[in-house]
Amino acid sequence: MVNAAVRGTVLATLLVVAMTGCGGGSEESGPAGGQNGDSLEGHEGKAPVALTSDQVRMALPSTGSLPEGWRVAVGGSAEAKAGQEAASDCENDTQSNCGGLVTMGRAMLEAVGASQWDNTVFVKVHSFDSVENAGVAMKSLVAAARKQAGTDAEPMKVSAGAEETDAFSEEISDYYSADVTMRVGTVVVHLSGTDLAKTDGIDALAKFQIDRIKQAASGKNPDA
């Protein structure tokens, strides 16, 4: 197990990187409908989910609505961005040109009772003007995430109600990392977990986030 002080320093760096965007290109193929749990089947003919900046902010996790065992981390409250600031973050996150980006938002969660920097999940939501542009960004985001992952990364099954999903986890020094990328309509969601004691709760968080996006897109307040 990594020394606690060293691990804290490393994870502090990861926090800065994750909250400002990171990643690199990859030659791996992009996600396909149905990969790691979710499927395009049943979504044909439906109007694509799309979110405004205010809806992205509402769709992100809030303190009173999280699944049991999770809380909003200190300094991790939901925030939404638009314009050049959002575009710059999106380009860093996805390693794509983020064509058609409308807005993006982010939040940071942690497991209840966890020590600082332990059991942390970063949530990012990118909303685009078309399914096509969202698909391009998702493909690049998955490629970047998989390029950063170690050779021991393993597929992780996540069924959250998205139209496309790519997910994997990796054991690192008795802890786990988890990476989940999903698309629902024109919205791309990325969950990145670091220093997790286990990955069991990631599926519930993914479903929770997709449900909130669908509620916000339909004009409902997800906290209602």
In angstroms, the CA 31 to CA 96 distance is 15
Q: How much is the pLDDT for 117?
A: 66
What is the chain's pLDDT, residue by residue, as a tens digit (224 residues)?
444 443 343 333 333 333 333 333 333 333 434 455 554 444 455 667 889 999 999 999 998 889 988 999 989 999 999 999 999 999 999 999 999 999 999 999 998 887 766 789 999 999 999 999 999 999 999 999 999 887 888 999 999 999 999 999 998 888 899 999 999 999 999 999 988 888 888 999 999 999 999 999 999 999 99
189 has which bridge partners?
Answer: 125, 182
In angstroms, the CA 55 to CA 31 distance is 26
Answer whether 53's CB lies under 8 Å from 82's CB: yes
Q: How much is the pLDDT for 200?
A: 80
Q: How much is the pLDDT for 193?
A: 93
Q: What does pTM read for this prediction?
A: 0.79
Q: What angle do CA 115, 188, 150 make, to 5 degrees?
A: 55
In angstroms, the CA 3 to CA 162 distance is 38
Q: How much is the pLDDT for 21?
A: 38
Rg of the chain over all Cα atoms, to the nearest angstrom:
16
Q: What is the CATH number of domain 4-23+32-217?
A: 3.40.1000.70
